[in-house]
Structure 1
Amino acid sequence: MSIDHVDLALKSKSFKQRQSNEPFLLSSILRCPDCDNKGSAACKANSVKAYDAENDLIQRIECFLCFLVNKQKFQVTIRSLTKHSIESLSKLKKDLTDVDLKLKDVIELRNKYLEAFEQNLFPVPVLQERLQQVAIEKTALEQKKNQLIVEIGKSDTKVIPPELVQILLERFIEVYKSSSRENKSNYSNS
C-alpha cells in the first residue's frame, strides 16, 4: 500500500482507526491537547500510544520518588508546587481587588456624567458619547471580574504534606506493579 493510499484511507469517512479494548491506567483522564476530547477517534492529532503514556507516567513517578534519597529535595519540590498554587491564587485575588477598584471608579465617573447631564453642563452628544465609553469599560471590567471569580473558584490551594504525597505515590506504584492490566485500569478509575 502506497503513502497515497494511506492518505486516502485516512481522509475517507469510512476509514476508522483501530480502538484498543484493553484497559489503560490513564484512559479516563487523558485528553487531546488540540480538541480536549478523549481518544483517537475524536481527533487525528492524537498520536500518543496508551502504553507509552502509561509507561512514561510510571517512570516519572518512580523518578520523582527517587528524590527521596535526598528527602529535602523531595520536600522542596512538593512545597514549591504548593507555594506556586498559593501565589497564583494570591495574584488572582489581587487582580480581582484591582478590577473592583477600577469598576468603582468607572461607576463614579458614570454618576458624574449623569449629574452633568442633569445640570446641562455639557452638550448632550458629548455626554452620550462619554456615557457609552464608560458603559463599554464597565462591561469589560464586569466580564474580567466574573472570569477572575471563576478562576478563584477553581483554585485548590490546600497544603499537602510531602510525607503524604510520598506514601500515596509509593503505595500506588506498589499496587500498580503487582496488578493485572485490567485491575490497573480499575484502580485509576476509582
Structure 2
Amino acid sequence: MRFYTHVVSLIIGLLAVATPRITHAAMESSAIANACNALAQESFGLKDLVLVINANKAGAAMTDVFDEFNDLFDAVLDNIGLVTGTLVIADPAAQQSVYEAYSYFVQGLFELMDGISTSATTFITLDSQNEFRIPMEVQTLRGVVDAYFFNVISVFPANSSYSSQSNNQKGQVDSHFRQAVHAFHLATAKSPNPYSNVTSAKMRMRL
C-alpha cells in the first residue's frame, strides 16, 4: 500500500511541475531557502541513523529508516507545490541565499546516499528484503527530489552562474542516487561487474 501511495503522490508532484507557473502564488526567496535548509537537516538526520544502524547492526531500527524516508519524501513533495509559481529572483543577495541553501540540501543528499551505499551489505544481512526495499525507497525519493530541484533551479536567472551550478549539482545528486541503488545490487553479486561476466561467457560460447 505504501508503494502505491508513493506512486500516486509522485504523479501529483510531477503534475505540479508541469502546471503553468502563473496559476500559483509566489513563494518568497527566504522561504525557499528555509525549506531547503530544513530538507537538508532531514537528510543529514536520516544519514546519521543509517550509519548508526550500519555500525551497530541494529536491525530493529530499520523501521525508523523507512519512516524517515517517508517523512523526507512527504516534505519534498509538499515543497514542490510551494515553489511552483515563484518568479525568477532578481536580487543577487536573495539568489545567493537560495543557492547556498540548495547546495546544503545537495550535500545532505550526497552524504545520505553515500551512507546508504556503504551500508548495503549490513542492511541486506539484517533483512534480505532490504535488497529490494531500500532501492525502492531511494528511487521513490529520487523522483520527487528531481521535480523539486527542477522548480528551485527555475527561480535563478537562466544565464546566471547559479543556474548552471545548480543544474550541475542536480546531475551529481542523480548519480549518487543511482550509485546507492547499484550498491545493493553489487552486495549480492558474485562479481563487482556481473553483467560483463555474463557477456564474456556468451562471447566464449560463440567462439
TM-score by length of 2: 0.28
Say which one has the larger Rg: 1
Q: Whose helix fraction is larger, Structure 1's or Structure 2's?
A: 2
TM-score by length of 1: 0.30
